[in-house]
A = this chain, B = another copy of it.
Amino acid sequence: MKWVRYQADDGVFYGVLGGDIITKTIGSPFTDFESTNQQISLDEVRILPPVIPKTFYAAGINYKKHVLEAAALLNREPNLPEKADIGYRANNAIIGHGDAIVIPKDATDKIHYEAELVVVIGKTAKNVPIQDSLQYVLGYTVGNDVSERTWQASDRTLWRAKNTDTFKPMGPWIETEADLNQMVTTVRLNGEETISFQTNDMIFGVEKYISEITKYLTLHPGDVIWMGTDGTSKNMKNGDVCEIEISGVGTLSNPVTRAI
């Protein structure tokens, strides 16, 4: 089942997508909802980010090849994580499918995409045994962890390197029936494939992260966990279109502009 959040003429709603038709609901998949018999075509609405989380979690480094390649680029020793320590991103930066990634005027050319599986939490979770973890997942969506690599190296935190407004595209919807082991993540820049990897080839998987996080932190309905990326990005520039597909989940596409 695909949950889509959208702006229509009469307000913002969650709906269930079948083919190109949205069936409107009242409420949300995180609380209570009621189906309606009102339908609208996907191309008549604006797709919104599928959720604005209470807390925005991000695994950061979670694929071995990405760590080794990033270390080589920066001329540093690779530093593989030893524990599933979670990190954070910021809500101000979230945009939806189709919205523009805006590169600030004073950013360098090193504007990179990072194609990530996004886990959407459906139920309040604390002290969850690893084997029960997936019961707390409502579904999956796609994230692009856009990063300014020069700032990432120069600043004390990731604040503007990863959380500049528009740097966190997420969408297009939440797929509730995807199989982690069947997913392949593919990035296309201006239609040309640049990266493709097995989505679940993570250092610490979804179940491990949920189990570790909830030893200390409560996960709430609507919280998201971005699971990290593999491969090495090309630079994105004004006029580009960056498309990330996770098979069985959906395709997130965003144009890129540079502020003038």
Contact = CB atoms under 8 A, between A and B. Distances in A.
Given A160-B216, A165-B218, A92 B155 contact: no
Nearest to A104: B216
Interface string A209-222: 00001011111100
Interface of A: 52, 54-55, 60, 81, 83, 85-88, 90-93, 104, 126, 155-157, 159-160, 163-165, 213, 215-220, 223
A159 B87 contact: yes
Contact of A216 (B156, B165, B215): B165
* For the complex of A and B, 9 pairs with smallest distance between CB atoms: A85-B156, A160-B216, A164-B216, A87-B157, A85-B155, A55-B90, A86-B159, A85-B157, A88-B88
A164 B217 contact: yes
Contacts of A104: 215-216
A165 B217 contact: yes
B54 A218 contact: no
A101 to B, nearest CB: 13
A100 to B, nearest CB: 15
27 contacts: A52-B54, A54-B91, A55-B90, A81-B156, A83-B155, A85-B155, A85-B156, A85-B157, A86-B157, A86-B159, A88-B90, A88-B159, A90-B217, A92-B217, A92-B218, A92-B219, A92-B220, A92-B223, A104-B215, A159-B213, A159-B216, A160-B215, A160-B217, A164-B217, A165-B216, A165-B217, A165-B218
A113 to B, nearest CB: 18
A155 B86 CA distance: 9
Nearest to A220: B92
A216 B220 CA distance: 28
B55 A91 contact: yes
Contact of A85 (B60, B159, B164, B215): B159
A159 B218 CA distance: 12
